[in-house]
Amino acid sequence: MFKKILIANRGEIACRVMETARSLGIKTVAIYSDADANAKHVALADEAFRIGPAPVAESYLRSDKIIDICRVSGAEAVHPGYGFLSENPDFVDALETAGITFIGPSASSIRAMGLKDAAKALMEEAGVPVVPGYHGDNHDPAFLKEQADQIGYPVLIKARAGGGGKGMRRVDDPADFADALQGAQREGEASFGDGRVLIEKYLTKPRHIEIQVFGDSHGNAVHLFERDCSLQRRHQKVIEEAPAPDMPEDMRRAMGEAAVKAAKAIDYAGAGTIEFIADVSEGLKSDRFYFMEMNTRLQVEHPVTELITGEDLVEWQLHVAAGGKLPKTQEQLSFSGWAFEARLYAEDAPKGFLPAIGTLEHLALPEHSARVDSGVRSGDEITPYYDPMIAKIIVHGPSREAALGQLLASLEATEVAGCVTNAGFLAALCRHDGFTAGDVDTGLIDRDLQSLIAEPEVPEDAVSLAALTALGLTRSASGDDPFDTLGGWRIWSASRQFALLEIAGERRDVEVQAQGQHRFAVHLPSGVRSYSLVDVTGNAIVFDCEGHRARAVVVKGKKGLTVFLGGHAFPVNLPDMLSADDDASGAGDQLIAPMPGLVKVLSAKAGDAVTKDQPLVILEAMKMEHTLKAPRDGVIGEVLATEGEQVTDGTVLLALAEENDAAA
């Protein structure tokens, strides 16, 4: 076994690998960019080395620097995690030349599965079922149109390189094929440097089911059963589970055998995932699943497989990379219970899942009721440079119903302040009737998106607690106030105070009257309600409202408050009393960067007439492109940014002329 390894990654996967390495007595070496100098994975490692500035091309993708650090530190092997260099065969070759072990498959295996069309051709030769379609080398548009007509609509045009939903277009009408083809080719060229595509039959009710495979250098290969990853948005996974709901045993066996056959076809050694698409228009059937692609690395969702099988897949990776045989045969592997994983991201679901940045002023994760894989801590910053994942929340129960209930409870117990998250959206998915019943497919989220992102009505208790906290009245109940015995109460009259709050975009002037020690009357739209603060410990408040006792957490940050109550988070801004009546003048006349990023495309110039919601700027941030649109009809008065410019959040990118000026 290795004595020291380098983890060529960051965040939660780097921390995850370090935990297993430490349990095996293996020393770990971390690398970090300038943005990650104080990151959790740096603190956990035995040693850490600066790799470069924040952009990934200057840091985590610098294979030459990683190899230099291996030499300096004495690391014998490199674990790539996922993303970054994990599926880069040139990196594997460079490590091999330097005499350093890659904890993953061979470069030839990665190359064999690197392009979707070549991989599918290889799978057809191996007898693995593939989606009906065209995967050949003729990329003439007229020829591709003929192939699509023969396959039958709807079809899916897919860039043959890359992933993550880029370079993909669904075509329902033959008349739309040419435009969709050009769009997919442009996006494939821009994203992966390869504009070639393949054409597939689009399944109207598909499920995304994948098989975890493992091979070794001695010719052995096994599967560790399936994961269902059908809950997706924009072709990206949201919640994964294992096993798959309603999976017939004959289909599980057929998929497992096909996956092992695929792994053996390329002499695969290490952890990998064979991704299948299943046509469930008539339910799950053993002759209705098709190979999509192979991920030649450890998957983000690998913990659900670990929880149902009891195996540590990172330990398996280390064992196999060190030359060992697979720890178990197929006959020795089994699973029990049910597991779910939810990906907690810093993103704003109601605003199109826009990635968010900010400081995690308060972070409380449900580590007693769930396994939590995270690479951040309270006080850490979510930056625009990397994937905005905060944590993976993973649960295991004896049944699907029990595990799903446990996941919902864990999400409702999750508290993040200082940065908007998708926790509410994930909890809404756990309450969704179709998902609860196991009736899932890849279109579920899009069909019911509006109900899933609907923000809950702000309860009056949350308003009251925000007002009491804003006025400093909760401090007396905690014992932090030197005037604790007074509690804001006057013996000759009840003191009156007013808290100016902004909740759900609405400003509220809330009147509070002290009625005695830790007792207050709060004036609300429904009337005056009486509150008693039973206990205040830190941010936690136990309160009694007219005979109903409950607990909440209220966190005060730089920009306002966050009230955690009843499984929901309610952000509250505290406007400046002196500027309470001021509107954000001109806000509707400006296009403002919602986050730091790179101005990728600027499709407007001064004097251009534009219409409301017309795309004007493409901003690249957190490895994704975000289209910014005109706030209203008008004329561009001034362009304040340039293509290729790196801007900060809040930067005014362009301004519309005032309507009177435009009319003139």
CB-count exposure of residue 33 (10 Å: 0-12, 13-18, 19+): buried
8 Å CB contact between 212 and 302? yes
Residues in the chain: 664
CA separation for the pair 490, 149 (Å, rounded): 82
Q: For the beta carbon of residue 397, count every other beta carbon within 10 angstroms.
A: 17
8 Å CB contact between 528 and 484? no
Helices (H) and strands (E) in the chain, counts: 19, 39
Which residue among the candidates 196, 233, 252, 297 is catalytic per the annotation?
297
CA separation for the pair 313, 115 (Å, rounded): 26
- The answer to whether 297 is a known catalytic residue is yes
Q: For the beta carbon of residue 625, count every other beta carbon within 10 angstroms.
A: 16
Residue 243: is the preceding peptide bond cis (ω within 30°)? Answer: yes
8 Å CB contact between 373 and 16? yes
8 Å CB contact between 437 and 426? no
8 Å CB contact between 278 and 258? no
DSSP-assigned letters across all residues of 629-659: E-SSSEEEEEE---TT-EE-TT-EEEEEPPH
Nearest Cα neighbor of 472 from 509, 502, 499, 501 is: 499
CA separation for the pair 83, 81 (Å, rounded): 7
Q: How far is the CA of 86 from the CAs of 149, 296, 299, 509, 572, in angstroms?
A: 38, 8, 11, 54, 41
Phi and psi angles of residue 506, each rounded to the nearest 5 degrees, phi first: -115, 135
Strand residues in 62-120 grouped as ranges (E): 77-79, 101-102
CA separation for the pair 619, 628 (Å, rounded): 7
Q: For the beta carbon of residue 69, count every other beta carbon within 10 angstroms.
A: 22
CA separation for the pair 211, 419 (Å, rounded): 35
Beta strand 133-134 pairing with 197-201: antiparallel
CA separation for the pair 307, 24 (Å, rounded): 19
Q: In sequence order, which ranges of 432-528 are alpha helices (DSSP H)?
A: 433-436, 444-447, 449-453, 460-470, 474-478
8 Å CB contact between 362 and 378? yes
Q: Point out the residues that are catalytic.
A: 297
